[in-house]
Amino acid sequence: MNINGTPPTRGSGPDWLQPRTETSSLERYLQVIRQRLWLIIACVVVCTGVAVAFVALSKPVYEAQADLLISPVSDADEYVGLQIIRQSSDPTRDVQTASRLVATPEIARAVKQKLDSPHSVRWLLDHVKAEPVAQSSIVTVVAQAGTRREAQQLANAFGDAIVADRTRSLHAQIDRILPSLDDQLKTLPGGSDENDRDQILFYRTQLSKLRSQPDPTIQFTTRAELPQSQISPRPVFTTVAGVFVGLVLGIAAAFALQMLDPRLRREEQLRELTRLPLLARVPKEGGRRKTPLRPERLSPNTIEAYRTLRATLAATRGGRTGPRSILVTGASAGEGKTTTAINLAASLALAGHSVILIEADLRRPTIGKTLGIEPEHDIMSVVLEQTSLEDALVRTDLYGENLELLLAKPPGEGGASFADGLFLPTAQTLISDAKRLADFVIIDSPPLTEVIDGLALAERADEVLLVVRLGRSPMARIQQLGELLARHNIDPVGFAVVGVPASQATSPYYSTPTYSRSGGKLLARR
């Protein structure tokens, strides 16, 4: 109800639930990158470290090349019966056929014996390959090894070995053919045709010439030289590649995590969801605590943030006067709503206002334990008309006479079983009764998306303050809370964002406040 005793006037419905501005795609991408910059940097550091470690631990590899010239022969008479590389309709196939003859176990065994190599035949075959060069008649023998000299020796040894093997095979064939030709000449009848004898003699002469020469179809034209630099690892290239891969993986992981992360991570997400203002940025307190924090346990930055919340709420009155009720709620548990309710009430009391803090979270009441108070009467005693509001209110010496509290019983004493009592007519008049006794009535409500207990009080309160926590509040729950309030024509006054980094929450301009107890009151000194 408002100051005249009538229900508060609500806004125009769910308009506040619409985004204030549309954020461009580029801005959203930059926001994700800024928010997950730590992840991107970590990926870059890890990938770069792996690249540097690879360079440091890997043995150098050098590569040497030697060239073989392939010259297939025609089907001329002088080459009849010889198994050598012959011309075909496809010159490229001829060169490919020759390249397959280079890296064979027989050639590798000959190289191992010639170089007296400690490596196995399989190792030699794994480190040497023969490849045709485009459409030419050249076959390149490529050898890789751990030293310049070894790579050069391997390439040249395989080139020498294939030429020697082909020559040896050719000479062996000729040695088998020549005796048969001599026998033919001896056994020719005396009256034989001279042309037959001349052909045999010509063929024998050609074979004798071939016997004195290397295989004409394969020649070692270009011997391998000492390689100038290693091909692996390449320090500069590997390091740059590590940085690039780290950036790609980091950015991809950042966007994947953003899509999978259901929690509130930045204030812009609230602006994308609603038009509500951010009334205060409450810094993140060190350590993990399961109980609310009262002012004495807060850092100076956090105390100043609650002063800011007090001032911004006062500014939203628009010149109106009279008592005021503010219900504090959130989308889920553990977001800091009870801490916010306690410290907002304390800040208002320290500013000279009379305040009543009502604990409406009957399922998890923690205010009494936090402030060290055990009330004789609780909120349900007032709702069930077993006692008056004035008799149920209690005070704490920490904040003097300005702050009074209406607390709930612990769950073990049956307070939670009366949660439906908040929907009784007497519960709904509780706020108006409290406003007759104080300037401000602060109501600590349970999270409305988890339990509906506080909805009736939210409908009667002048203002509803939403508390969210960065890194914890689920975005889906915040949206559900907004839709729930909009369906009941409740326009929240704004957000208090908890868990903001201290550097973003307040300015270091103010001096550090200290607290002392004087006359039973907690005083703030600048």
| Identity of residue 116 | D
DSSP assigned state of 400: G
For residue 288, give both structure tokens: 């993990």
pLDDT tens per residue across span 426-463: 887 999 999 999 999 999 999 998 888 888 899 999 99
CATH of the domain at 356: 3.40.50.300
Do 300 and 203 reside in the same domain of the chain?
no
Do 271 and 391 reside in the same domain of the chain?
yes
Strand partners, 403: 355
φ/ψ of 366, rounded to 5, equals -135, -5
Query: Of 170, 204, 222, which closes a domain?
Result: 222
State the Cα–Cα distance between residues 511 and 208, nearest whole angstrom: 109
CA 156-160-161 angle, to 5 degrees, is: 115
The total of other beta-carbon atoms located within 10 Å of residue 311's CB is: 13
Predicted confidence (pLDDT) at residue 118 exceeds the cutoff of 60: yes
Do 325 and 216 reside in the same domain of the chain?
no
Do 90 and 197 reside in the same domain of the chain?
yes
Do 117 and 184 reside in the same domain of the chain?
yes
CA 139-145-151 angle, to 5 degrees, is: 55
For residue 168, name the pLDDT band (cuts at 50, 70, 90): very high
Do 181 and 270 reside in the same domain of the chain?
no
Tally the domains of the chain: 2
Closest by CA position to 404, among listed 439, 428, 369:
439
For residue 315, give both structure tokens: 């500014």
DSSP assigned state of 375: -
Count the alpha carbons within 13 Å of 259 in the hemisphere toward its beta carbon.
6
Q: What is the four-CA torsion angle of 281, 282, 284, 289, rounded to 10 degrees? A: -140
119 inside domain: yes
Length reported for the chain:
526
SS3 (DSSP) at 437 = coil
Strand partners, 514: 525
DSSP assigned state of 227: -
Predicted confidence (pLDDT) at residue 505 exceeds the cutoff of 80: no
Do 71 and 171 reside in the same domain of the chain?
yes
For residue 526, give both structure tokens: 């600048």
Do 203 and 268 reside in the same domain of the chain?
no
Closest by CA position to 467, among listed 338, 369, 288:
338
pLDDT tens per residue across span 390-416: 999 999 887 778 999 999 887 665 555
State the Cα–Cα distance between residues 280 and 272, nearest whole angstrom: 18
Do 191 and 317 reside in the same domain of the chain?
no
Do 116 and 208 reside in the same domain of the chain?
yes
Domain with 345, as residue range(s), is: 264-285+294-525
The total of other beta-carbon atoms located within 10 Å of residue 421's CB is: 16
Strand partners, 63: 144
Do 214 and 320 reside in the same domain of the chain?
no
Burial (CB < 10 A; 0-12, 13-18, 19+), residue 278, is middle
Strands 62-70 and 218-222 turn out to be: antiparallel
For residue 420, give both structure tokens: 């439906």
φ/ψ of 449, rounded to 5, equals -80, -15
Residue 76's pLDDT is what?
A: 64
To the nearest whole percent, how much of the chain has pLDDT over 90? 42
408 within 8 A of 365, measured Cβ to Cβ: yes
208 inside domain: yes
118 inside domain: yes
316 inside domain: yes
Do 202 and 318 reside in the same domain of the chain?
no
For residue 20, give both structure tokens: 């204030």
Residue 218's pLDDT is what?
A: 92
State the Cα–Cα distance between residues 475 and 452, nearest whole angstrom: 19
Q: Which of 8-12, 71-75, 358-362, 478-482 is predicted with the least confidence, judged by mean pLDDT?
A: 8-12
243 inside domain: no
To the nearest whole percent, how much of the chain has pLDDT over 70? 87
Mean pLDDT to the nearest integer, 222-247:
92
Query: Of 222, 242, 273, which closes a domain?
Result: 222
The tokens 């004898």 sit on which residue?
A: 197
